[in-house]
Structure 1
Amino acid sequence: MSENPYYAGREGGGFMQGGSPYGGGSQQSPGGEGRKRTNQSLRPVTVQQILNADQPVPESDFQIDGADIGPIQFVGTVHNKSSTATNVSYEIGDGYGYVDVRQWLDSSDDDSGKTDGIEQDKFVSVIGTIKVFGGKRHVSAQTIRPIEDHNEVYHHFLKALQVSLTIRNPGAAQGGAGAAGANANANANANSYAAPAAGGGDMYGHLIPMQKKIMEIVSADTSGEGMHVKHVGRMCGAVNGEEVMEAIEQLMGEGLLYSTIDDLHVAAAT
């Protein structure tokens, strides 16, 4: 893949990944200050879980089911919207509760692309982190996108339930590994977040060829740090770096990929 100036400008930030799949791991913060930071894998949740998340002490990581959490994903419908020069705020509910969501803007006219398709009473998918400001809890959103296929809503709730049950009773999850393997194809069809089943199932069949190839490549990575976008491009055999980056950004917008150790490393939302 040829060198692309687009890569050079995308450094820093992003989500970090490590430890257990859905939280509980920790990392030492840069600078040796000793503050523990949670595993930064993306976790599917409900609004009720967001509202009931524990924060043992101020400024510490939030916890759900006793596990530290970082970035979260939830779905719901938009009920209210307000804008300022620096952010757009929404009230989003999923039938289990309502939570304020705030998306920050880079400039006063930056909301044009970020708010496209986000309308009153329409379902959206939100990726962000839980924050507290002025004593009130909200979600600081990295991305908000409209949901076109209502099946995604059901899939999300199933995944949120599965993750919670796995964390609460890991022994049972391990004991059921054989049964889970025997029903891998059924699970892949019932769960849009699940990893592809070995030897069967095509959970990325609805994607265009380039996006499908990228998801198959990235979802096979087990490094815990994600794959560098240049490496993804080389494995795709792409000659146009912009085409790969455009596909990756679309997949991130749909919540299928997220950045890890920096903005140039991506992992599949599993």
Structure 2
Amino acid sequence: MSNYDGQNPYYGGEGGGFVQNGSPFGSQGSPGGGKKPRAQTIRPVTVKQVLDAVQTHGDADFLIDGQEVGVILMIGSVHNESRSATNVSYEIGDGTGHIDVRLWLDSADDEAGKLEGVKMDHYVSIMGTIKTFGGKRHVSATHIRPITDHNEVYNHLLKSLYVSLVLRNPSGLAGAINGAGTHDDYSAGNVQNGNGNGNGLESAFAALPPLQRKIMEIVAAEDGDDGMHVSTVSRQVTGFKTEDVMDAIEGLMSEGMLYSTIDDLHVKAMG
């Protein structure tokens, strides 16, 4: 996966990274450690998380999942564009919502360098901060780059979800990822047939490996024309790492068992 400055913006080595030793802030976030530290690493987020971020007063830092956020990383597709002498503004959507992203420019040469490869209806990666101006929320970008590998779109979405779940319930999520769940429980999205036992869908995909079978059972139970958002699929699959879920979805798409619908983040089962 491509990253800025050759560094992984989600996870670092032993000396850093967003999620470390089961805690989003490592030892800094321990109880009794005094004032809660501000996030020192880049937080992967979705558009909806940015729109729902809480600000207690006009000068306060924004909070997502109860944690202060500084620099964010967001991935979405470019829908609209407007330019002025000093900045370029894009409307960015990622399947969870739409938000304006503003990139400030110093000169024509600056524009050529910062906007290289950014095109309408193409995915881009955005690094910046959350701002509010005139009562409307936007992202003030420091870097925008085009996405050339669509695996990065899915990986980003799942990492955003993973970090959010860790912040909300570190011990509970760790148990789920380590395989604490031993039965096919899909939380509120249990897959069931008319008899309520789920055997109908389970038998249809019995030949698949366990993870792929879970994914197909979940997606096949969704009968809407738009299919199911991959974040919804990942929330309903327990006992597997998010990266493995993403790889399995991609594999099922390459095998023709899943296909994208209204955008790259919504999938539907063939049938």
TM-score, normalised with respect to structure 1: 0.54
In the TM superposition, 1:220-259 aligns within 5 A as: none
- Shift in Å at residue 168 of structure 1? 0.7
- CA pair 188-51 structure 1, distance change in 2 beyond 3 A: closer
Matched letter for residue 99 of structure 2: V
- CA pair 81-66 structure 1, distance change in 2 beyond 3 A: same
In the TM superposition, 1:73-222 aligns within 5 A as: 73-176=73-176, 178-179=178-179
- State whether residues 86 and 108 of structure 1, in contact with CA within 8 Å, keep that contact through their aligned partners in structure 2: no
Secondary structure of the equivalent of 2:73?
A: strand
- State whether residues 23 and 38 of structure 1, in contact with CA within 8 Å, keep that contact through their aligned partners in structure 2: no
Q: Gapped runs of 5+ residues in structure 2?
A: 1-15, 30-34, 181-239, 248-271
- State whether residues 17 and 41 of structure 2, in contact with CA within 8 Å, keep that contact through their aligned partners in structure 1: yes
Q: Spell out, residue by residue over 1:190-247, the C-alpha distance to the aligned partner (whole angstroms, 9 max, x if none).
A: 679xxxxxxxxxxxxxxxxxxxxxxxxxxxxxxxxxxxxxxxxxxxxxxxxxxxxxxx
TM-score, normalised with respect to structure 2: 0.53
In 2, the alpha carbon distance for the partners of 1:98 and 1:154 equals 17
In 2, the alpha carbon distance for the partners of 1:187 and 1:47 equals 19
- CA pair 171-37 structure 1, distance change in 2 beyond 3 A: closer
- Shift in Å at residue 124 of structure 1? 0.7
- Shift in Å at residue 38 of structure 1? 2.1
Match of 2:24 in 1: 21
Matched letter for residue 100 of structure 1: D
Match of 2:39 in 1: 39
- CA pair 187-50 structure 1, distance change in 2 beyond 3 A: closer
Q: Spell out, residue by residue over 1:101-123, the C-alpha distance to the aligned partner (whole angstroms, 9 max, x if none).
A: 01111224310011111111111
Secondary structure of the equivalent of 1:128?
A: strand
- State whether residues 24 and 38 of structure 1, in contact with CA within 8 Å, keep that contact through their aligned partners in structure 2: no
Secondary structure of the equivalent of 2:125?
A: strand
- Shift in Å at residue 80 of structure 1? 1.1
Higher RCO (CA-CA < 8 Å; seq separation 6+): 1
Match of 1:54 in 2: 54
In 2, the alpha carbon distance for the partners of 1:127 and 1:24 equals 26
Aligned length: 167
Secondary structure of the equivalent of 1:152?
A: helix
In 2, the alpha carbon distance for the partners of 1:42 and 1:142 equals 13
Q: Which has the larger radius of gyration?
A: 2
In 2, the alpha carbon distance for the partners of 1:117 and 1:23 equals 36
- State whether residues 24 and 67 of structure 1, in contact with CA within 8 Å, keep that contact through their aligned partners in structure 2: no
Q: Spell out, residue by residue over 1:97-156, the C-alpha distance to the aligned partner (whole angstroms, 9 max, x if none).
A: 111101111224310011111111111111111011222111011111111111111111
In 1, the alpha carbon distance for the partners of 2:59 and 2:27 equals 17
Match of 2:63 in 1: 63
- State whether residues 72 and 128 of structure 1, in contact with CA within 8 Å, keep that contact through their aligned partners in structure 2: yes
Matched letter for residue 91 of structure 1: E
Q: Gapped runs of 5+ residues in structure 1?
A: 1-15, 27-34, 193-270
Choose 79-88 or 171-180, whichever is displaced more: 171-180
Moved over 6 A (4+): 16-19, 23-26
- CA pair 146-59 structure 1, distance change in 2 beyond 3 A: same
- State whether residues 128 and 143 of structure 1, in contact with CA within 8 Å, keep that contact through their aligned partners in structure 2: yes
- State whether residues 22 and 163 of structure 1, in contact with CA within 8 Å, keep that contact through their aligned partners in structure 2: no
In 2, the alpha carbon distance for the partners of 1:24 and 1:94 equals 33
- State whether residues 24 and 167 of structure 2, in contact with CA within 8 Å, keep that contact through their aligned partners in structure 1: no
| CA RMSD across the alignment | 3.3
